[in-house]
Structure 1
Amino acid sequence: MRLFFALWPDAGVREMLARWAEACNASVRGRATRTENLHATLAFLGEIAPQKLASLCTLGAEIQGSAFELTFDRLEYWPHNRIVYAGCSQAPAALGVLAEDLRARLGDDGYAVDSRPYVAHVTLVRDARRAPKGVLVEPVLWQVRDIALVESAREDGTLVYRPIRRFTLST
């Protein structure tokens, strides 16, 4: 199973981000992320043996993060992998603490985790030919109350992200 930990938006946030993706895709002519797959990755794990699922669920339940508000207010472009994403002008400190704690725990358990500083983002368009120009978006406010362990799978040739378990953050 291919797994990752992520912030998983509610339907309202997802719809607003989907509008951003549609507007961007018209400008950059790439592949917009399917609405139901929109999320913010915290830690990508890759291919994981099914027997490790229980220990990952235990690890997720032990995370000591606090709920927070996340505001996506910028469109950004990574030219090296041709991705347009929703970004934050100012990520809350609670998000940095959460990502750092999760990555440290995963590393302690022997998982290979990204050592680069965490950048809050939601991938909107892949294979973008350029940075979006002239696309106006309204800020998206996201009340983050939990994190999710998510499976990435192909179903009939379509990439599907499916939350396996969610872990509530303290309020």
Structure 2
Amino acid sequence: MDGQTKTPTTRLFLALWPEPGVRHLLAEWRDAWTWPAGAAPVHADKLHVTLHFLGALPSERLSELLDGFAVPFEPFRLDLTHAALWHNGIAVLEPSLTPPGLAALHARLSDALLALGLQPEARRYRPHVTMARRAGGASVPAEGPPVMWEVRGYALVASKDGVYTVLREYA
């Protein structure tokens, strides 16, 4: 032991966090799939659209981050209509088109990350709800209940030991 104390961290992400009615429709979509053995469907209380994954950040920065992620927001509608199985075994529900309001929110949050000295992910943003992991070979449903989500805000969420906790909702 070298005598140094490890800085406590909190695993964080920014997300569109569904209200109960939308969450119910997302769970109906998830339940319409036929999952292979070993697949890990996402529990209903964890269904969301990630805006930015932040990873483990020093917990001492939380109050700064909570304030730093308050960006201008205009409500928009997100139509999740397309079930897909990505090449890495991730089953998703995604929009056919990214609404301009979602693209604008993602860009504003990218700017907020940079202002806080954090680096946004380099890969192109693909909005989606993860339905399951390790889902290679799953049967993709042709259709499900229409999910026309009137998005009225976003959230900063902490993830610890498989439990998600909304730290702040922004509207």
TM-score > 0.5, shorter chain as reference? yes
Matched residue, 1:68? 76
Matches within 5 A, 1:1-171: 1-24=10-33, 26-29=34-37, 30-61=39-70, 63-80=71-88, 82-130=89-137, 132-154=139-161, 159-168=162-171
How far apart, CA to CA, are the structure 2 residues paired with 1:162 and 1:90?
A: 29
Residue 73 of structure 1: SS of its match in structure 2?
strand
Residue 114 of structure 1: SS of its match in structure 2?
coil
How far apart, CA to CA, are the structure 1 residues paired with 2:165 and 2:90?
A: 22
Residue 21 of structure 1: SS of its match in structure 2?
helix
CA deviation vs aligned residue, 1:78-99 (integer Å, no higher than 9, x gap):
112x100010012210100100
How far apart, CA to CA, are the structure 2 residues paired with 1:57 and 1:6?
A: 13
- In the TM superposition, residue 112 of structure 1 has moved relative to its aligned partner by 2.6
How far apart, CA to CA, are the structure 2 residues paired with 1:118 and 1:52?
A: 25
- In the TM superposition, residue 117 of structure 1 has moved relative to its aligned partner by 2.1
TM-score (norm 2): 0.88
How far apart, CA to CA, are the structure 1 residues paired with 2:141 and 2:157?
A: 34
Q: Which runs of 5+ in 1 are unaligned?
A: none
Contact 2:28 2:145 in 1 (8 A): no
Alignment length (residue pairs):
161
What letter corresponds to residue 128 of structure 2 in structure 1?
Answer: H
Matched residue, 2:6? none
Moved more, 143-152 or 132-141: 132-141
Residue 163 of structure 1: SS of its match in structure 2?
strand
Q: Which protein is bigger by CA-based radius of gyration?
A: 2
How far apart, CA to CA, are the structure 1 residues paired with 2:141 and 2:160?
A: 34
How far apart, CA to CA, are the structure 2 residues paired with 1:59 and 1:138?
A: 36
Contact 1:27 1:133 in 2 (8 A): no
TM-score (norm 1): 0.88
Identity level (%): 34
